[in-house]
Structure 1
Amino acid sequence: MKPIDHESLKTGAEAVARPLIVHVVRQFLPNRGGLEDVVFNLCMQSIGHGLRVRVVTLNSLFSDPTLPLADREIIDGIEVVRMPWRGSSRYPVAPSVLAHIGDADIVHVHAIDFFYDFLALTRLIHRKPMIVTTHGGFFHTKKFAAIKNVWFQTLTRFSASQYVDVVGCSKSDRETFMKIAPSRTQLIENGTDTSKFANASSTSPRKRIVTLGRFSINKRLERLIATMAVLCAADPDWHLDILGVPSDLSVFDLEMIIADHGLSGNVFVRAGLDNASIHSAMSKSSFFASASEYEGFGLVAIETMSAGLVPILEANTAYTVLAARHSDIRLCDFTDAKGAADAIRAAYQSLLDDPVLRDRLMAEIETYSWAGAAASYFALYAGILEGARR
């Protein structure tokens, strides 16, 4: 008989004894986006902190529904469980989430969607302590604003009462949720992987812009394309790369808008790129532009600053807060294509006149590393676990 390996048994018992944090999020890797990056980085920090993690997510990608995904897999040490769902990508319904949180010490819900409401309504069944990170809520556009406000004041308000903590990842999110959960809401701004695109931009000024993110309506890519039409009419050396994944808009939709403006030789859509390919695109560029109407925090702008790209941003709430901290960020109004084009030209001239501008941008974002954000979450987890022990 093989002798009992008491040391292995001890190690295994200690591993099981470590608290398990189950993250519930509608999309995760291999999908790429701000929400996915936040969950991935928090999980990696948690593993380093000695916690066990599991991500429970949907079994297909909104950007590529035909891509086969495993029901279970391990990604960089993160246990990933995928569930069937129905409904729309805005409010995907997946009640089988309850089958995957039974052994959780804490359930961490990301975004205000079906999972947020369903897990609140079923709390007396699963009886798990929960926290939620808002990630912008559902006010990304003004569409259906009246209905959204009624929903927010009723079901969203009730659901918030079932969470130990409501975490706003931006000051605007905190202010919004303080209205319905004042004693539970606090601010933890997202961390940033400052190494992902570090120093990626062109080392010499280039008349090339990238925009990065989902092809969704609130990003207002049509306004950015209209601005490019003004730029290129005066100077055809300007180019724009639209990098991201399809959402409300498809690649075809964007290419039709580009063609309507006569910009097929100046504006390019590149979907589903991995980080290495995005890094390569940035290496030919000097600017990042976003015409987005709404951002939860502005994470992508910070990531592109780490590349040394000069941000030219719509003056929405999140970007206005960010620009108040970083004087080299340019704000403009992309509803005014001529004014936005003037802002881009001025940013190019600043890059010519200030040879250390690129280096200054890269140095400033070091304060956004994930270590500080993760430590704040670990403090919340510790408080919940201590309460459970009592």
Structure 2
Amino acid sequence: MTLERFPTQSPSAAPESVPSVFKTDVLVHVVRQYRPSVGGLEDFVSSLVARQRGRFARIKVVTLDRVFRSSDEALPAHETLDGVEVLRLPFHGSTRYPLTPGILGAIADADLVHVHAIDFFFDALALTRIWHRKPMLATTHGGFFHSADFSALKKVWFQSLTRFSANRYGAIACCSQSDYDTFQTIAPQKVRLVENGVDIDKFADASAQAPTKGLVTIGRLSKNKRVDRLLDAMQALTARDEAWTLDIIGTPFDWSAADITQMIDTRGLSASVRLHVGPSDEEMRAIIARASLFASASTYEGFGLALIEAMSGGLLPVVEGNAAFRAFAAKHDLVSLADFTDPDDAAVRIEETFARLCAAPAAVRAQAMETAGGYSWASTAQRYEALYREVTGR
């Protein structure tokens, strides 16, 4: 099947440079977790909303009333954050598929509904479309294949209920090539490739100006990130050259800070590896300034946001060859793939990437930052507004 890339204007043009046709409309984003929860999904919606303010009569975010990983205490049912209304709904059952009966009332005032991720909200709004009749689109955010858990059930679910639901939406925005390849098998007429926007200013030019044997990894401390394999590679790398260091930046998820610290100590890496839990952006810039390379042993990525953020800082990536990272490597030759199931192979790939940087430090850093610039939020916001026009027939 021919890949359909959603049309866009020049990436350098801000979305505000194009007159909006939605000035009298209410846009409702539906997402299971939002601020104060922290994560890639939450950051994406928050960043998109920030660029849509003033282009709609009103924007509302509908989400759940508890942060899954940190507290059972209910958050305020209504709140205004940065001029955007946030409506939080109670839910029942598992956080994997939180049943939320209040969703139909929450979107009653919507002129357009944008659903994020493939979960209860995605299915419920598709199944009830005959009643609410709202124009809808959804963004995949990696689907639900982040781990191998319940893989057989997930495949059956995807080929049945997810297939049915996906074809009830006006469009399915796939935020990565791997998502596009997956979802075009069940909804070929609906899928569009709209890659994630990235805040390329946050860590711009933050990495070490001169090559240094420092690695950084960024992301939730979840099992799919395979920090354990990255530490195995560090063990092999420091055995070859003890000058290498690794900074792990993350927030607890499947693993706690104590779990990661134990992994570090067990491998005898306490002198080479530092763990940073939930640092601020300013603190992260200071950590990145000690490094030249970004590393990830993640077995699954919905998009690879951290990789692009790292490249915006001038870091060169050495990453596991999962579907999302392979897609990046096919388009950008600065992305090096490694097999982190083989620590020695990963160590060699890290050394080769560092040698490439040392051969032309300024030029390679500049190329990394230029590559990241192609994923700016200005371009992504334009693509979504064009997709909104398609879905609503404007």
Is TM more than 0.5 here? yes
Matched, 1:29 2:35: yes
How does 1:22-171 map onto structure 2 within 5 Å?
22-50=28-56, 52-65=58-71, 69-171=75-177
Structure 1 residues 296 and 51: CA distance shift in structure 2, 3 A = farther
How far the C-alpha of 1:66 sits from its partner, in A, is 5.8
How far the C-alpha of 1:94 sits from its partner, in A, is 2.3
Instruction: Kindly provide the amino acid, as one letter, of the partner of residue 222 in structure 1.
Output: D
User: Do 2:338 and 2:349's aligned partners in 1 also have CA atoms closer than 8 Å?
Assistant: yes
Structure 1 residues 123 and 81: CA distance shift in structure 2, 3 A = same
Instruction: Kindly provide the amino acid, as one letter, of the partner of residue 263 in structure 1.
Output: L
Matched, 1:341 2:347: yes
How far the C-alpha of 1:309 sits from its partner, in A, is 0.9
Matched, 1:359 2:366: yes
User: Do 1:95 and 1:118's aligned partners in 2 also have CA atoms closer than 8 Å?
Assistant: no
Instruction: Kindly provide the amino acid, as one letter, of the partner of residue 368 in structure 2.
Output: L
Instruction: Kindly provide the amino acid, as one letter, of the partner of residue 340 in structure 1.
Output: A
Unaligned runs of 5+ in 1: 1-15
Identify which range, 222-231 or 273-282, moves more after superposition.
273-282
Which residue of 2 is the match for residue 378 of structure 1? 385
DSSP 3-state at the match of 2:354? helix
Out of 185, 206, 222, the position equivalent to 1:179 is 185
How far the C-alpha of 1:108 sits from its partner, in A, is 0.7
User: Do 1:241 and 1:268's aligned partners in 2 also have CA atoms closer than 8 Å?
Assistant: yes
Matched, 1:296 2:306: no
Q: Distance in 2 between matches of 1:385 and 1:185?
A: 16
Structure 1 residues 262 and 370: CA distance shift in structure 2, 3 A = same
Matched, 1:205 2:223: no
Q: Distance in 1 between matches of 2:69 and 2:273?
A: 21
Q: Distance in 1 between matches of 2:65 and 2:212?
A: 41
User: Do 1:224 and 1:291's aligned partners in 2 also have CA atoms closer than 8 Å?
Assistant: yes
DSSP 3-state at the match of 1:311? strand
- The CA RMSD over aligned residues, in Å, is 2.0
Which residue of 2 is the match for residue 8 of structure 1? none
Q: Distance in 1 between matches of 2:48 and 2:276?
A: 28
Identify which range, 280-289 or 234-243, moves more after superposition.
234-243
Q: Distance in 1 between matches of 2:275 and 2:75?
A: 25
How far the C-alpha of 1:342 sits from its partner, in A, is 1.1
Instruction: Kindly provide the amino acid, as one letter, of the partner of residue 234 in structure 1.
Output: R
Q: Distance in 1 between matches of 2:280 and 2:122?
A: 30
Q: Distance in 1 between matches of 2:27 and 2:281?
A: 27
Aligned residues, how many? 372
| Deviation digits for residues 153-191 of structure 1 (CA, Å, limit 9, x no counterpart) | 111111112211111111221121111111111211112
Structure 1 residues 65 and 347: CA distance shift in structure 2, 3 A = same
Identify which range, 300-309 or 158-167, moves more after superposition.
158-167
Instruction: Kindly provide the amino acid, as one letter, of the partner of residue 367 in structure 2.
Output: R
Instruction: Kindly provide the amino acid, as one letter, of the partner of residue 95 in structure 2.
Output: S
Which residue of 2 is the match for residue 4 of structure 1? none
Which residue of 2 is the match for residue 223 of structure 1? 229
How far the C-alpha of 1:52 sits from its partner, in A, is 2.8
Structure 1 residues 241 and 67: CA distance shift in structure 2, 3 A = farther
Instruction: Kindly provide the amino acid, as one letter, of the partner of residue 352 in structure 1.
Output: C
Greater radius of gyration (CA): 1
Identify which range, 61-70 or 289-298, moves more after superposition.
61-70
| Deviation digits for residues 214-271 of structure 1 (CA, Å, limit 9, x no counterpart) | 1111111111011111112233322222212222222222222222212223222222
Structure 1 residues 75 and 329: CA distance shift in structure 2, 3 A = same
TM-score (norm 1): 0.90
| Deviation digits for residues 50-77 of structure 1 (CA, Å, limit 9, x no counterpart) | 4532111122223322677433322222
Q: If each structure's helix is expressed as a fraction of its own residues, which one has the higher value?
A: 1
How far the C-alpha of 1:318 sits from its partner, in A, is 1.3
Instruction: Kindly provide the amino acid, as one letter, of the partner of residue 387 in structure 2.
Output: L
Which residue of 2 is the match for residue 277 of structure 1? 283
Q: Distance in 1 between matches of 2:141 and 2:33?
A: 13
Q: Distance in 2 between matches of 1:51 and 1:291?
A: 43
Instruction: Kindly provide the amino acid, as one letter, of the partner of residue 209 in structure 2.
Output: T
Instruction: Kindly provide the amino acid, as one letter, of the partner of residue 383 in structure 2.
Output: S
Q: Distance in 2 between matches of 1:309 and 1:218?
A: 22
Q: Distance in 1 between matches of 2:57 and 2:267?
A: 52
TM-score (norm 2): 0.89
Q: Distance in 1 between matches of 2:105 and 2:270?
A: 49
User: Do 1:135 and 1:168's aligned partners in 2 also have CA atoms closer than 8 Å?
Assistant: yes
Unaligned runs of 5+ in 2: 1-21
Which residue of 2 is the match for residue 256 of structure 1? 262
| Aligned-pair identity (%) | 48
Q: Distance in 2 between matches of 1:288 and 1:32?
A: 21
Structure 1 residues 58 and 352: CA distance shift in structure 2, 3 A = same
Q: Distance in 1 between matches of 2:36 and 2:282?
A: 14
